[in-house]
Structure 1
Amino acid sequence: MTEQLERPPAVRAEGVVKRFGPTLALDDVGLTVRPGESHALVGRNGAGKSTLVNVLTGLHKPDAGTVRFHGEPAPDYGDMAAWQSKVACVYQKSMVVPELTVAENLFLNRFEPGERYIRWSRLRQKARELLASYGVDVDPSARAKDLAVEQRQFVEIAKALSFGAKLIILDEPTAQLDARGIQRLYAKLRELQAQGVAFLYISHHLQEVYDLCTTVTVYRDARHVLTEQVADLSKADLVEAMTGEGKGGASSWHAVSVHGSDHAVGETVLRTEQLALEGEFDPIDLSVRSGEVVGLAGATASGNTALGEVLAGMRSPTSGAVNVAGRDVRTGSVPHALDAGIGYIPEDRHRQGLVLGRSVAENATLTVADQLGPWGTVLPSRTREFAAGMIASLDIKTRGPEQLVNGLSGGNQQKVVVARALARDPKVLVALRPTAGVDIKSKDALLGVVRRVAGEGSAAVIVSDELDDLRVCDRVLVLFHGRVVASYDSGWSDRELVAAMEGVGETTPSADGGQEGTAGTSGNKEQTS
């Protein structure tokens, strides 16, 4: 430890500021990671973690502040070869080329001076030597797509180290690993730490911070909150630092939000029976009643997003059934989900929600084209009339139905996505992170729409890890590694919900082999009823 302290830090960032237009993404933050250290960087969404990673890897140029590697100033912005020799990031989604071999991935675009042809036997030998030098037991001739997830990560780490980098950033490295894969990854990281390699570890699963890291830094709302030795920081204090909420405290937002006690709840509208998707979430029995908004909370790789997509017909489950208002729904089919009465607000409005080169009217009526004219025709006048009603209902700020949707603000674009989801008067509304990337005013309006839909007799499911999204819910189910681990009625505190999402809440095994929350939960053995 003394030797580590005497050597210059693997990276030291001081006073870093980064703005994107009016948004302050990093506000005078700092971070120090020492050689051979495993340092965790944690915080809620929007805390600034990803922006800092982009600064540390040379993808973003800070507006103020300094970054130094091993005591030397960071390379010039844009000199990516120099940055590669200092730092590398291994992302949750593997960056290897699946169809290429391990050797080809390791030396992609790396030709020796004067070399005119690739000597494949020599390339494989160099790859074998490189992998062996870091103790990575992978066949250089194997195709990357045939490797286990942690083996692909080992290849990426070895490639980064071969450029000279001694700082590796791991972004959610265990998200796609099973328990044995996680242990193998841990073992390899500890071996490399002994060789002086430093790791900056970013994870939503706080237990892994305690299992792997020696130091933790917390960011909140673009600011540095604390840096402590993991052994000296309790899980409760870590969650408190992330949320800004003291023990037993509750967010003031609860005082003004709408909750289940304020409205009537009717019969079950949405029901699933042993619905499962292998590798994403275990069998789940979910029921949502008319007038009710249920939240499916969870961090990255919890399975909540996959569950929402299965409900909307975007993905096919491995097993199980979905029923809407007593009618079985053909799973894995968006048209059948629509016909059954499921409205869907996707997570990414640009990729899945909008046709950006088309008008507001065209986008808002995509799901009701069969209702806009006789014999399969679409009458422009009827399209405009239908869209005008949605514009008025959702208060969409636009010059009119004919305006191109890419000319709207982010919040109004999202309202158009909501309009499309509501166009068929759905019995069930499934919303994936419905307020992502919108301003506070638009966020309140969008969540108000979801609440209104439920109040008019439909059922609603909000899939999100954003606490403000979940506050409008009557019940919140927390998923962790594909299992429901806790259930909360309205009135939960930020710290208890975050603790459950991050895998450090108190849980007890349930009768069906899953887990349910104990501290602060509804106490219901029926995890979803």
Structure 2
Amino acid sequence: MSSPLTTPLVEATGIVKRYGPTVALADGRLTVLPGESHALVGRNGAGKSTLVTVLTGLQAPDEGTVRFDGEPAPPLTDRDAWRGKVACVYQKPTVVPELTVAENLFINRQPTSRGGVISWRRLRTEAAELLDTWDVHVDPEARTADLKVEDRQMVEIARALSFGARFIVLDEPTAQLDNREIERLFTRMRALQESGVTFLFISHHLQEVYEVCQTVTVLRDARWITTAPVADLPRRALVEAMAGESIAELEVQLRELDTKAPVLLDARGLTSESYENVDLTVRRGEVVGLAGSSGSGKVELAESFTGLYTPTGGTAQLDGEKLPFGDVQAALKAGVGCVPRDRHGQGLVFGMSIGDNATMTVLDRLGRFGFVGTDRKRAFATELIDRLDIHTEGPEQPVSDLSGGNAQKVVMARALASDPRLLVLINPTAGVDVKSKESLLARMDSARDDGTAVLVVSDELDDLRRCDRVLVLFHGRVVAEHSAGWRDHELIASIEGVDHG
């Protein structure tokens, strides 16, 4: 580790950023030493993204200073100078999917011959050398769209390093990775650290902070709260620093399941390219979890019930009636509500208001003959906003203005608006802060109490802990069932294939 006398690689002091009347950052501070992995944590809306835009030269602060290696940050107009200092690998890839790895690595700076024509041979050679230098095992001629998420991230990191940057911001890098892929990413991070690369690591998964980071900085309500060695900050203290109040450890109360409650969802022998011969039941007022790695088939299975896929074999009934496959509207009409896996791509229409998004599935109830009553829609949307505790100025506010946690609550509001008999939740708390997570899970609990059958797919153990049962899929097959009260190591062993052949 660096000594206290080491010049910080990055130092941000007194950063203030306003957008009109909104103060996005009132006192941003960050000191990152060379060669460390430094975590930046805080609830959605704490100011993390704003600080990153300042650190990466996308926007100038209204007040405060940024220094690299003790020197003032370059002017915003000098993009090349910024690329030589810092790069951000976002949750959404910035590579061009249709281009090869080599083309992405040297986009807009391809090696040319004397005549100014691109030298494809040199491009491939230099790309292979760059990947080899940073120990990235990817074919330079592979189409980037065909890469796994973790390999695409490593290509983005290699591209940043090729500009000379040694400070890499990783923004929610594990959001789309399974446990094995996360461990491989962390192994690569540690190797790059030893080669002189420094990371700023942003994640809502606090356990990851303890696994891969040496130092953590907490932002809350647009202000710096604390910076401390990770080893000196217990998890409970970290959560309290983020929340600004004492949070008792969540004790999940195991409740008695009514085994005489009628079965609402009854699936037999479901088979597709992603899963095989799955039998599944969910009773009225029961929450069943689906766990497994990213290639287990758990998401595809859940999405089949929402009408996104048609299985090649098997049947499913909802409340005694055949469930329509391959038709989202028909599934909705049959009584299926859904929080999809990607709120950006599948869950929200960003050009529309919060009220429009929340009531999209129930417009037929709010008017007759295709005419929607404005007052009725507004009243219904307001009721949903109150029910989900969505922090907003009102139903007319654009949904694009919301933080991740509140945006996810809008998706949940729409899923509940139709009073579904089956509620399918796919990674319902991904990328949201601690308080929003608790609010979303409370809505899941109340849906269960109302007699809804709930199916939850999640990579988060905290989401699955509230389930009455958790089924584990491994390579498309159900390999284990865990009743409520399971221990973490038991479930993880099933997910990782440790306790079965």
> TM-score, normalization: structure 1?
0.66
Aligned position for 1:89 = 88
User: What is the identity percentage for the equivalent residue pairs of Structure 1 and Structure 2?
Assistant: 48
> Residues 354-410 of structure 1: CA distance to partner in whole angstroms, max 9, x if unpaired?
59589x8999577677x99xxxxxxx963336676554545589xxxxxxx996554
1:269 aligns with 2:264: yes
> Offset at 1:334?
0.7
Q: Is the 8 A contact 1:47 1:223 kept in 2?
A: yes
Q: Is the 8 A contact 1:292 1:460 kept in 2?
A: yes
1:509 aligns with 2:496: no
Residues of 2 paired with 1:248 and 1:349: CA distance? 32
| Change over 3 Å in CA distance of 1:224–1:301 after alignment to 2 | farther
Spell out the pairing of 1:87-126 with structure 2 (5 A cutoff).
Answer: 87-111=86-110, 116-126=116-126
Q: Is the 8 A contact 1:361 1:387 kept in 2?
A: no
| Change over 3 Å in CA distance of 1:487–1:82 after alignment to 2 | farther
- Residue 75 of structure 1 aligns with an amino acid whose one-letter code is P
Residues of 1 paired with 2:246 and 2:265: CA distance? 36
SS in 2 for 1:100: coil
Q: Is the 8 A contact 1:167 1:197 kept in 2?
A: yes
In the alignment, structure 1 segments of 5+ residues that lack a partner are 255-259, 373-379, 398-404, 490-504, 516-529
Residues of 1 paired with 2:278 and 2:39: CA distance? 32
Aligned position for 1:496 = none
In the alignment, structure 2 segments of 5+ residues that lack a partner are 385-393, 497-501
> Offset at 1:459?
5.2
| Change over 3 Å in CA distance of 1:386–1:327 after alignment to 2 | farther
> Offset at 1:312?
2.7
| Change over 3 Å in CA distance of 1:418–1:52 after alignment to 2 | closer
- Residue 48 of structure 2 aligns with an amino acid whose one-letter code is K
Aligned position for 1:136 = 136
Residues of 2 paired with 1:414 and 1:189: CA distance? 30
SS in 2 for 1:384: coil
Residues of 2 paired with 1:216 and 1:142: CA distance? 37
- Residue 370 of structure 2 aligns with an amino acid whose one-letter code is T
**Greater Cα offset, 105-114 or 5-14:** 105-114
**Greater Cα offset, 505-514 or 163-172:** 505-514
Residues of 1 paired with 2:245 and 2:297: CA distance? 26
Residues of 1 paired with 2:147 and 2:345: CA distance? 32
Q: Is the 8 A contact 1:276 1:317 kept in 2?
A: yes
Q: Is the 8 A contact 2:287 2:469 kept in 1?
A: no
Aligned position for 1:375 = none
Residues of 2 paired with 1:464 and 1:234: CA distance? 25
- Residue 340 of structure 1 aligns with an amino acid whose one-letter code is A
Residues of 2 paired with 1:390 and 1:110: CA distance? 53
**Greater Cα offset, 169-178 or 114-123:** 169-178
Residues of 2 paired with 1:187 and 1:363: CA distance? 42
Residues of 2 paired with 1:31 and 1:303: CA distance? 41
Residues of 1 paired with 2:285 and 2:447: CA distance? 8
Q: Is the 8 A contact 1:362 1:383 kept in 2?
A: no
Residues of 2 paired with 1:22 and 1:464: CA distance? 38
Residues of 1 paired with 2:160 and 2:30: CA distance? 21
Residues of 2 paired with 1:171 and 1:414: CA distance? 18
> Offset at 1:86?
0.9
**Greater Cα offset, 306-315 or 111-120:** 306-315
| Change over 3 Å in CA distance of 1:64–1:508 after alignment to 2 | same
Residues of 2 paired with 1:302 and 1:29: CA distance? 41
Residues of 1 paired with 2:185 and 2:283: CA distance? 43
SS in 1 for 2:99: coil
Aligned position for 2:26 = 27
**Greater Cα offset, 315-324 or 77-86:** 315-324
Q: Is the 8 A contact 2:288 2:470 kept in 1?
A: no
Spell out the pairing of 1:31-430 with structure 2 (5 A cutoff).
Answer: 31-111=30-110, 116-177=116-177, 181-246=181-246, 248=248, 267-270=262-265, 290=284, 309=303, 311-314=305-308, 323-344=317-338, 348=343, 352-354=347-349, 382-384=369-371, 389-395=376-382, 410=399, 426-429=420-423
Q: Is the 8 A contact 1:144 1:152 kept in 2?
A: yes
- Residue 313 of structure 1 aligns with an amino acid whose one-letter code is G
- Residue 12 of structure 2 aligns with an amino acid whose one-letter code is A
- Residue 154 of structure 1 aligns with an amino acid whose one-letter code is M
> Offset at 1:162?
1.2
Residues of 1 paired with 2:344 and 2:136: CA distance? 40
| Change over 3 Å in CA distance of 1:485–1:334 after alignment to 2 | same
Q: Is the 8 A contact 1:172 1:204 kept in 2?
A: yes
Residues of 1 paired with 2:220 and 2:298: CA distance? 24
> TM-score, normalization: structure 2?
0.69
- Residue 41 of structure 1 aligns with an amino acid whose one-letter code is L
Q: Is the 8 A contact 2:37 2:200 kept in 1?
A: yes
Q: Is the 8 A contact 1:349 1:417 kept in 2?
A: no
SS in 2 for 1:237: helix
| Change over 3 Å in CA distance of 1:110–1:413 after alignment to 2 | closer
- Aligned pair count reads 473
| Change over 3 Å in CA distance of 1:352–1:132 after alignment to 2 | closer
**Greater Cα offset, 220-229 or 160-169:** 220-229
| Change over 3 Å in CA distance of 1:37–1:341 after alignment to 2 | same
Q: CA RMSD in A?
A: 5.8
Residues of 2 paired with 1:233 and 1:363: CA distance? 39
Aligned position for 2:499 = none
> Offset at 1:338?
2.0
Residues of 2 paired with 1:81 and 1:247: CA distance? 45
